[in-house]
Amino acid sequence: MKTNLKSFQPVVSRSSVEVRYAETDQMGVVHHAVYPVYFEQGRIDWLRIVGMHYQKMEDNGIMLPLHKLSVDFKKPAKFGDVLTVTTILKKMPSASINFNYQIHNQDQDLLTEGETVLVFVDKTTRKPMRCPEDVMNLILKAATKD
Amino acid sequence: MKTNLKSFQPVVSRSSVEVRYAETDQMGVVHHAVYPVYFEQGRIDWLRIVGMHYQKMEDNGIMLPLHKLSVDFKKPAKFGDVLTVTTILKKMPSASINFNYQIHNQDQDLLTEGETVLVFVDKTTRKPMRCPEDVMNLILKAATKD
Amino acid sequence: MKTNLKSFQPVVSRSSVEVRYAETDQMGVVHHAVYPVYFEQGRIDWLRIVGMHYQKMEDNGIMLPLHKLSVDFKKPAKFGDVLTVTTILKKMPSASINFNYQIHNQDQDLLTEGETVLVFVDKTTRKPMRCPEDVMNLILKAATKD
Amino acid sequence: MKTNLKSFQPVVSRSSVEVRYAETDQMGVVHHAVYPVYFEQGRIDWLRIVGMHYQKMEDNGIMLPLHKLSVDFKKPAKFGDVLTVTTILKKMPSASINFNYQIHNQDQDLLTEGETVLVFVDKTTRKPMRCPEDVMNLILKAATKD
């Protein structure tokens, strides 16, 4: 595959999440610890769109635990808000895979931005591993299509 | 073991749980879905006091999933409340084990009552099984001591 | 409104919920404390379909906290399952409103059944109140339509 | 108060948290979204030790929502682990207050490091405000004692 001739385009997915009552706290807004769960949902949708099913990856012996997480809280989400989680991959994975996230509400307000670094881990040995080649190929295909 | 000569005494444990901010919802009180987690903590402490470590049971191939749950919500718990979870076993387990729970706050108000039925499940086959004999013996010992 | 001439038909809604990774536990299935959250989502959708927005009810000073909950766990849900939450009202509310729930997976297996009793509470006084008349009328309309 | 003559010492608290079963996921370890809740518990204990009760602050009209969060996951925590959350304030707050966190398990393994930036918000106007003077004084007292 002559990938050097094509430029890497960010691969972007959008997921819709409706805020649950249980996710609010006594400030009357979504508790901050819920946003990593929204990011996770966005990431799982992203993987599916690119052609990977996270459960199948685990069934095949590959886990993707979080290594680093950062979140920037700009405005609060409220019960009943219909959020859009935008998940973005900006560069090819290696031993780790980095995603950026933006969460907007139904009024297109940017509520939250975040970033995660996940690492590929062998389920049996629990040791780090490189991104499997079939995953690389799926991402390359998504990132270089015309 | 001549257990028929001794009467079965309810086996009771008490656990202390401080309400977390993340457990509140926008009504300003603990969200109802958190109480099963408090019951679970009470149950795990109960098992430990009787001599069973839940993780060791799982490591030995026995799981204890929930079969039935009921909760009666009387008064709300609030952020910062220091709750006492009272966990009670009233009768010997067989294929299932039943616990009753009461949750009081620091003012001795009864906030919640509940009941769970758990079943013993073989971790490998995921089939129901009878309560293992060593567990029976530990409970019998706790329930019949003078 | 001559409601006595019409029979009360159960009012049923169906909601779709995809199981999140964060909702699993180390047994590899959805943790039991998540099901009340699924029921809540079903209930909020039910209210919306009948014409009530839960947030508007709270904004108008009416809260609907849980009074009783029971859950019967039949089969486990797994990560990635797409669940259908069926929410059923079988009789008119008074000071309380009762819902029944069934949760099926994508293979039409019945995973969980449940029931909740919720009470109408005045947000300011935090005292119980009767079901507001406009809510009664919306339910009556949904339950008696030809 | 002649604070310029005393050097600011980091103010450190330690909290003990036992990992709950419900906090694990199907990888068999604590789900990453639980760590911000552990940090929160550490922070609330820190405030209490210094002389502030978070609920009282809210009752007095001051909220402390999260503005930024970062977490570095080094090793996983497991069900039943007894964690120590170390919460550290390294500099005086202004409009925001920064905490650093370290989480160790019972074997003194460093599992997680994190940092949060919280902002002081007026509960009524929901606008940012400066750290209240009584809070400043409590922190100064804790940070400069011999």
Q: Does the structure show a pLDDT above 70 at C4?
A: no
H or E element, residue D90 = none
Q: With bands split at pLDDT 50, 70 and 90, how would you rate the model's confidence at A1? A: very low
Q: Is A75 exposed, middle or buried (0-12, 13-18, 19+ CB in 10 A)?
A: middle
**Distance of alpha carbon B101 from alpha carbon B115, whole angstroms:** 6
Catalytic residue among D25, D72, D109, D134: D25
Give the chain A residue whose CA is nearest to the CA of D58.
Answer: A27
A1 SS3 class: coil
- Residue C58: strand, helix, or coil: helix
Q: Which of C22, C37, C44 sits opposite A40 (nearest CB)?
A: C22
Q: Which residues of A touch D36 (CB under 8 A)?
A: 32-33, 36
pLDDT at A4: 54
CB A76 within 8 A of CB A121: no
Q: Which residues of B touch D53 (CB under 8 A)?
A: 80
Q: Looking at the predicted structure, is the pLDDT value of residue C145 above 80?
A: no
* Residue C59 clears pLDDT 80, i.e. is over it: yes
Of C40, C54, C80, the CB nearest to A22: C40
What SS3 state is found at B4? helix
- How close does chain B come to C7, measured CA to CA in Å? 31
ipTM of the complex: 0.94
**CA distance linking residue B104 with residue B110, whole number of Å:** 4
* Gap from A145 CA to chain D (nearest CA, Å): 33
Q: Which chains touch A (3 or more CB pairs under 8 A)?
A: B, C, D
Average pLDDT over residues D17-29: 98
Instruction: Inspect the interface and report whether the beta carbons of C22 and A44 lie closer than 8 Å.
Output: no
Q: How far apart are CA B80 and CA C55, in angstroms?
A: 26
DSSP string, B82-118: EEEEEEEE-S--SSEEEEEEEEE-TT--EEEEEEEEE
How many CB atoms are located within 10 Å of the residue D145 CB? 9
Is C40 part of the contact surface with chain A (CB cutoff 8 Å)?
yes
Whether residue C57 contacts residue C43, with contact meaning beta carbons closer than 8 Å, is answered with no
Mean pLDDT of D13-40: 98
CB contact under 8 A, C36 and B40: no
Q: Please indicate if any CB of chain C lies within 8 Å of the CB of A44.
A: yes
Q: Which residue has the tokens 């949750």?
A: B103
The predicted model gives C53-65 an average pLDDT of: 95
Shortest Cα distance from D3 to chain B (angstroms)? Answer: 33
What is the least distance, in Å, from the CA of B140 to any CA of chain C?
Answer: 28
State whether A68 and D72 contact (CB < 8 Å).
yes
Which residue in the block uniquely carries the two structure tokens 């009762």?
C98
On chain B, the residues whose CB falls within 8 A of the CB of C69 are 32, 69-71, 73
The pLDDT-based confidence of A15 (bands split at 50, 70, 90) is: very high
Contacts of B29 in chain A (CB under 8 A): 26
**Which chain C residues contact residue A78 at CB under 8 A?**
55
Q: List, as one string, the DSSP characters of D18-70.
A: EPPGGGB-TTSSB-GGGHHHHHHHHHHHHHHHHT--HHHHHHTTEE--EEEEE
Asked if the C-beta of D22 comes within 8 angstroms of chain A's C-beta atoms, the answer is no
Residue D25 annotated as catalytic: yes
| pLDDT the model gives residue B56 | 94
Size of interface A-D (CB pairs under 8 A): 56
Contact indicator for B111, B77 with CB cutoff of 8 Å: yes
Confidence grade of residue C1 (pLDDT, cut at 50, 70, 90):
very low
A80 and C53 within 8 Å at the Cβ level: the answer is yes
Mean pLDDT rounded to a whole number for chain C: 94
Q: Confidence class of residue A130 from pLDDT cuts 50, 70 and 90? A: very high
Task: Answer yes or no: is pLDDT of A106 > 50.
Answer: yes
C26–D22: do the CB atoms touch at under 8 Å?
no
Looking at residue D7, its pLDDT comes to 81
pLDDT of residue D117: 98
Spell out, as residue ranges, where chain B has pLDDT lower than 70. Answer: 1-6, 146
Question: pLDDT > 70: what percent of chain D?
Answer: 95
Residue A59 C-alpha, separation from nearest chain C C-alpha, in angstroms:
12
Distance (Å) of CA D99 to CA B63, D66, D87:
39, 11, 7
Give the nearest partner residue to B70 out of C33, C63, C70, using CB atoms: C70
User: Do residue B21 and residue D54 have CB atoms under 8 angstroms apart?
Assistant: yes
Residue C107 clears pLDDT 80, i.e. is over it: yes
